[in-house]
Structure 1
Amino acid sequence: MLTDRSHRRLWRKARALAEGIELPDPFDAETFLVLLAERRGRPIEILPVGVDAGVPCGLLVTTDHADYILCTPGTSALHRQHILVHEAAHLLCGHDRSPASEAPGVPALLPGLSPDLVRRVLGRTVYAEPAEQEAELLASLILHRALGEGPVPGRDHGRAGTLVGAPSRRSERPRV
């Protein structure tokens, strides 16, 4: 559980990243990944991978030479966009440089990939983990900015309720 202090720090970091990143205009998640790959100097590939229920709908696999975003095919365009931006947010936050985790699903999803090549696997499974909260917040702030919903909201503007797709709290007054 995040303390209020660490929650403020999370918002400050995510806002700074979301405000500082170059976004394509008009926004397109795949074009965003191309720009991010150029900035990082290493390829990012999207791999459609069918998975069973209970397995993450998006997964980031980082090897020595490239980053791979595994994405469930057949999902809605909006959901796919969010998956891609969420996994890109892990890269922007530097989660790919964290110590490698055990991910038993990787051999089944990528049977040709040597386990020795995989440095980091990040899946969308447990949102209580700080790295998942950070990536989810950053993805939402990037999409908020990309979709022209105003400036990147600050922590004081509320939590997820002010982010992408959430109804506005502002009530419209009838014109007299």
Structure 2
Amino acid sequence: MNERRLRQECRRLLEELGIRPPLDVRELCRLVGRRRGRPIHLTPHRFPAPGPFGAWTAGAEADHIYFQAQTSTVHQDHIILHELSHLLAGHEPTPAEALFRRTCYDTAQEYEAEAVATIILEWSAVAARISAGESSSLPAQRISRSLSGERVGWL
């Protein structure tokens, strides 16, 4: 899938879920889980280095995203979004027996998941910055929304 199409799909998903900046990755996972009818459990894990930063597995009644416990919150959010992107794209989850052995990220699915995670984080950063700079006057807000086509950021 090309980047333009990925951006369109990300924007559509965020709009459908009512996600606005600032981005709360855990809330996004909760809403996606509710929409899918099965919760997404987020679990920090101390992955060995070098090795993977995260993984997604599908259980009988819930999805599980494991992310590196020994890194910054910003990096953890990116890892979670990467794994969530696999889920959203309909990729196959990591088999439980291979959970902590996968370290190769050169497939089309890995590129797509990384691109989606990056697009969502970029949207959040740009949209939050635009929102912070908006005038508090009602006419200025209306003009701003009109000029932006009701979009938040450039996504």
TM over 0.5, shorter chain: yes
In the alignment, what sits opposite 2:154? 151
Deviation at 1:127?
Answer: 2.5
TM-score, length-scaled by structure 1:
0.63
Deviation at 1:36?
Answer: 1.0
Q: Which residue among 64, 71, 81 is the counterpart of 1:68?
A: 64
Deviation at 1:103?
Answer: 6.0
In 2 relative to 1, CA 102–63 (structure 1 residues): closer, same or farther, beyond 3 Å?
A: closer
Superposition pairs of residues 76-155 of structure 1, within 5 angstroms: 76-95=72-91, 98=92, 104-106=97-99, 125-148=103-126, 150-152=153-155
User: 1:102 and 1:91 mapped to 2: Cα distance?
Assistant: 13
Is contact 2:47-2:69 (8 Å) kept? no
In 2 relative to 1, CA 61–101 (structure 1 residues): closer, same or farther, beyond 3 Å?
A: closer
% identical equivalent positions: 33
Is contact 1:17-1:138 (8 Å) kept? no
In the alignment, what sits opposite 2:5? 13
How many pairs are equivalent?
A: 126
Matched residue type, 2:39: P
Contiguous gaps of at least 5 residues in structure 2: 128-152
Matched residue type, 1:151: W
User: 1:28 and 1:101 mapped to 2: Cα distance?
Assistant: 25
Q: Which residue among 22, 38, 44 is the counterpart of 2:40?
A: 44
- Superposed CA RMSD in Å reads 2.3
In 2 relative to 1, CA 82–17 (structure 1 residues): closer, same or farther, beyond 3 Å?
A: same
TM-score, length-scaled by structure 2:
0.71
**Richer in helix (by share):** 2
Deviation at 1:12?
Answer: 3.6
Is contact 1:24-1:31 (8 Å) kept? no
